[in-house]
Amino acid sequence: MERRDPELSPEQDFYRHPELYDLEYEGLVEDMGHYLRLAKGLERVLELGCGTGRLTLPIARSGAEVVGLDRAPAMLDRLRARVRAEPRLRVSLIEGDFRDFHAPGLFDLVILPFNALHHLRVAEDFLSLSRCVQTVLKPGGVFALDLVVPDPTFWTRDPEGQHEIRWYPDPEGGKMKSWENGFYDPITQINWVRYHYKRASGRLQEIRVPMRMFYPQEIQGLVRIAGWSVRRMDGDFMGNPLRPGHGKVVFELTLRA
């Protein structure tokens, strides 16, 4: 059953606006090589939070059968259109919540990429997700995910300022201005990221993305409690060990005997 944030209106939900999501992230390649290396030579891959297919399609082009799961119908509709344009790819899609899902068959690799972990709010969500992954992972299979290391410097920025200003083609025509701001709630550990779009027409649109932040020691504890063994824990997608100053935690997990 889908659980939605009461603070978000449909207009503010990023995942109802795949055209905006793709403007922001379609060109992101930082993690591409990492997940393609993990999928190389494998038969079946499950991608949780597949979105519009930024990783789904390249992994499928590498030869694997890919099952993509996402809870946002608009994102899946955009991906379905792309899959239809490449009929030779072995891609199937499931609408569902990765906290409690079912997928057909077993998989060599399950991935939860691009900070999707931050959509979980409480420890029980991670434990539920882990149980689902463990039921579909082949013996010796890998569960791979990445997340952001909390950076307090972002939380000291002016919450009403214009940060990281960008210009994009406006899907409605012309050009539009985009910027970010937000605020951090230290009790819930949720970083409220706000994307602002000033359309060519002058209309302002705000998107909100609540991201529950996990500290490295916290997520390592949850990993152990959930029954995983850590095959690798790196500080970037190049395999460098996690050290102060790194902005990512990149996990490769296997089921503990």
- Residue 207: the pLDDT is 97
Prediction pTM value: 0.95
- Count the domains in the chain: 2
Same domain, 167 and 244: no
Instruction: Kindly give the residue spans of alpha helices, DSSP state H, lying in the chain.
Output: 18-25, 32-39, 56-61, 73-84, 123-136, 152-155, 216-225
Same domain, 208 and 248: no
Q: What 3-state DSSP class applies to 41?
A: coil
- Residue 7: the pLDDT is 67
The domain that contains 223 carries what CATH number?
3.40.50.150
Residue 17, in any domain of the structure: no
Same domain, 43 and 92: yes
- Residue 8: the pLDDT is 77
- Residue 65: the pLDDT is 98
Question: pLDDT tens track of the chain, all 257 residues?
Answer: 333 444 678 889 999 999 999 999 999 999 999 999 999 999 999 999 999 999 999 999 999 999 999 999 999 999 999 999 999 999 999 999 999 999 999 999 999 999 999 999 999 999 999 999 999 999 999 999 999 999 999 889 999 999 999 999 999 999 999 999 999 999 999 999 999 999 999 999 999 999 999 999 999 999 999 999 999 999 999 999 999 999 999 999 999 98
Distance CA 75, CA 18 (A): 5
Same domain, 207 and 234: no
Last residue of a domain, one of 212, 231, 247: 212
Residue 83, in any domain of the structure: yes
Strand segments (E) across 135-247: 137-148, 163-169, 175-185, 190-198, 204-212, 228-234
Same domain, 125 and 175: no
pLDDT tens-digit map of 206-230: 999 999 999 999 999 999 999 999 9
Range of the domain at 42: 31-149+215-255
